[in-house]
Amino acid sequence: MNVTRIIAVRHGETAWNVDTRIQGHLDIPLNDRGLWQAQQLARALADEPVAAIYTSDLQRAQATAQAVASTTGAPLVPEPDLRERSFGALQGRTFAEIETELPEQALRWRKRDPHFAPEGGESLTALRERIAATVQRLAARHPGELVVLVAHGGVLDVLYRLATGQEIQAPRTWLLANAAINRLLWTPQGLSLVGWADTQHLEDAARDETTT
């Protein structure tokens, strides 16, 4: 059976995540906590039989993926089509700034208008089409194998929706935690969900730190 197992991961934390500043295609590095999260993720996946790691070519994802590659020994392949949604002219602003300065755009964003694209950016519909095609292309290379995809919050949101049949404009009720482990299955018929937002590797490590 042509089943590909997928572990999908959002990159570790960045300073802009903390500030709620829109990153999009801007190339923001991991902060210290993000680097720590990447190491904990790498330890958690060390014994997984990973055939390949595909990562967004933005450095916050690449650094996270490199940590996993170092423990699994799997080849690391940059994949620009796993980039975050492009937010165009909104990139670099905080959510609060957008609410204040561009209330009409902020409203369309909040309502998840599937056709709203910031100036120079992507719509949710375009993002979904890009991610669906990319995952199909990558997963089809690895029947019977396990691959890791390291990407971004918007990408992970689309993967969850594709795997559960959620509409692109439906309100989000699931977590998109940095460096969480999310498991899916892919067949030529599409994606299905196995497990989501596993952060035990981060929680256990945090408890260990406080007791030493």
The whole-model pTM stands at 0.95
Cα 202 to Cα 181: distance, rounded to the nearest angstrom: 10
Cα 47 to Cα 201: distance, rounded to the nearest angstrom: 14
Residues making up the binding site: 10-17, 60
- Which residue among the candidates 25, 79, 84, 142 is catalytic per the annotation? 84
Question: What pLDDT sits at residue 2?
Answer: 84
Q: Is the pLDDT of residue 72 over 70?
A: yes
**99 burial level (CB within 10 Å; 0-12, 13-18, 19+):** middle
Query: Catalytic residue at 84?
Result: yes
Residues making up the binding site for substrate: 10-17, 60
Q: Is the pLDDT of residue 207 over 90?
A: no
Over the range 104-140, which residues count as b (16 or more CB within 10 Å of their CB) and which as e?
ebbebbeeebbebbbeebbbbeebbebbbebbeebbe
Q: Is the pLDDT of residue 210 over 60?
A: no
What domains can you pick out in the chain, each with its CATH number?
4-210 (3.40.50.1240)
